Chains A and B, each alone.
Chain A
């Protein structure tokens, strides 16, 4: 097993499947009366969050606590970062406190990679800028495998703001490793320039992609990262790239609808669609805890062998 989880692309097929299989077993823990395992007793996991997050931070915290690790939550607001401390100095502080794992979310792409060079513990990327969010991709793959029984040959359509999405990049890399075929659908302005080098197809016509999709994953329009006009109006975006009931009816019977959250109802996804039985949005959150438990266990399970 690799020591840090920075990019979904670092995972080999065997690594990825091991994480998914481990998560499958750990999922049982959430059904028990005592939802705790003693595995990481005496280890410290630091949640280092420079950007706002609900789901991911809570999910990592729950995962670490279910494995009996001590959790230190750090958010940039109200810390020395607000006073101007650099990432490196913060990292050295954590190092001095003996963090066994650092879960980092940062607005700058590549921050987890830099951090990995400064600390002795494992670094888990919980989202860096517009780069990657590997545990989200793992929990998405886990959800697909649970709902549809396989990943090999699955056709996954990812729709929306790919340019600003770390989820899209991580998913493309991981799903490719696991044998699924990915198609990105977005307005040309919301696709990265280098998308031609990604291992996936690109389309601008959402309706044409729907009938052959096993999975449709909707992405949020990340207005907070937009410093220019990427599309004329929200209404026009929603009409061309939003998933409404009419579009959902074009999907095959078995197809599922995913969203990494937070979703904006009425923009990329209609409320009826988000609440339909085909939507896995709530499941994805529950599966996130199991996936993060698996990642922490596999990264931290064996300190002595390093």
Chain B
């Protein structure tokens, strides 16, 4: 059981121990708390523009770090539009295409607002967009829950290196990276502070998928 990985955040690089780490992981800080705040505010405004006031929008975060991001975006939508925006979480562990290659993972929590997703605009929220495999799994998971009118994707960081024909509708920051690098997103809800750190890790490309 010791080999289990904490659910979620797989594209962000090895997340093991990140929740307890108080100090920043080694590497270059590419986004600080202020920049993250501004990026989310801009993304929230883009969502309102593109969805005609975000009336039918449901934000579903992908565990682990997509979930607090979805709630932060929902709070901003509510602030700007003056009506609450539903937010929840969508665990994709059981839909991953690499389950057989890794030890069984702990499941994250799926929490879909009680009204369901049928006929709504679902915006999937994740911290890092990398290979695109997590998003593919999320689309499959979403299909088993209901039939949204449209599905869009919002990410805090797009680091490139897509392996599937997937792109984000809303991007907090485009971050050109090499595959040897690790992008780690830290959020105050899960890690005690807000930061995006770009580090070097030779084994990260293997572990980060």
Q: How far is the CB of B171 from chain A (nearest CB, A)?
A: 29
Which of B54-62, B103-111, B122-130 lines the interface with chain A? B103-111
Which of B20-28, B94-102, B172-180, B198-206 lines the interface with chain A? B94-102
Residues of the A chain whose Cβ atoms lie less than 8 Å from the Cβ of B4: 1, 18
Chain B, interface size: which category? 20 to 34
For window 38-84 of chain A, which residues contact chain B by CB distance below 8 Å? 38-39, 67
Q: Determine if B158 is an interface residue (Cβ-Cβ < 8 Å).
A: no
Contact (Cβ within 8 A) B100 A297: no
Residues of the A chain whose Cβ atoms lie less than 8 Å from the Cβ of B107: 21-22, 25-26
Residues of the B chain whose Cβ atoms lie less than 8 Å from the Cβ of A26: 107
Contact (Cβ within 8 A) B105 A301: yes
Contact (Cβ within 8 A) A25 B99: no
Contact (Cβ within 8 A) A22 B106: yes
Contact (Cβ within 8 A) A297 B110: no
Q: Determine if A272 is an interface residue (Cβ-Cβ < 8 Å).
A: no
Q: Determine if B140 is an interface residue (Cβ-Cβ < 8 Å).
A: yes
A250 to B9, CA, bound (A): 51
**Best-surrounded residue of B91, B94, B101, B109 (most CB of chain A within 10 A):** B94
Chain A residue with minimal CB distance to B144?
A34
A303 to B101, CA, bound (A): 7
Chain B residue with minimal CB distance to A67?
B94
Contact (Cβ within 8 A) A302 B1: no
How many residue pairs link A and B with beta carbons under 8 A? The number is 61
Bitwise, A187-209 to B at CB < 8 A (1) or not (0) is 00000000000000000000000
Contact (Cβ within 8 A) B106 A32: no
Q: How far is the CB of A1 from chain B (nearest CB, A)?
A: 5
Contact (Cβ within 8 A) A38 B104: no
Contact (Cβ within 8 A) A25 B144: no
A299 to B104, CA, bound (A): 8
Number of interface residues of A (CB under 8 A): 26
Q: How far is the CB of A97 from chain B (nearest CB, A)?
A: 19
Q: Which of A21, A34, A39, A299 contacts B99 (CB 8 A)?
A: A39
Q: How far is the CB of B58 from chain A (nearest CB, A)?
A: 16
Residues of the B chain whose Cβ atoms lie less than 8 Å from the Cβ of A15: 1
Q: Determine if B146 is an interface residue (Cβ-Cβ < 8 Å).
A: yes
Q: Determine if B145 is an interface residue (Cβ-Cβ < 8 Å).
A: yes
Contact (Cβ within 8 A) A28 B104: no
Contact (Cβ within 8 A) B94 A39: yes
Residues of the A chain whose Cβ atoms lie less than 8 Å from the Cβ of B104: 1, 297-299, 301-302
A116 to B101, CA, bound (A): 23
A131 to B142, CA, bound (A): 43
Chain A residue with minimal CB distance to B109?
A25
Contact (Cβ within 8 A) A302 B102: yes
Residues of the A chain whose Cβ atoms lie less than 8 Å from the Cβ of B140: 38
A32 to B91, CA, bound (A): 14
Q: Which of B99, B100, B105, B110 contacts A28 (CB 8 A)?
A: B110
Bitwise, A14-28 to B at CB < 8 A (1) or not (0) is 110010011001101
A1 to B4, CA, bound (A): 8
Residues of the A chain whose Cβ atoms lie less than 8 Å from the Cβ of B102: 302, 304-305
- What are 23 A-B residue pairs whose CB atoms fall within 8 Å in the complex? A12-B1, A15-B1, A18-B106, A22-B106, A22-B107, A25-B110, A32-B144, A32-B145, A34-B144, A34-B145, A37-B94, A38-B94, A38-B95, A39-B94, A67-B94, A297-B104, A298-B104, A299-B104, A301-B104, A302-B102, A302-B103, A304-B100, A305-B101
Q: Contact residues of A with B, CB < 8 Å?
A: 1, 12, 14-15, 18, 21-22, 25-26, 28, 32-34, 36-39, 67, 297-299, 301-305
* Contacts A21-B106, A38-B95, A302-B104 supplied; 16 other A-B pairs, CB < 8 Å: A1-B103, A12-B1, A21-B107, A22-B106, A25-B107, A25-B109, A25-B110, A34-B145, A39-B94, A298-B104, A301-B99, A301-B100, A301-B103, A301-B104, A303-B100, A305-B3
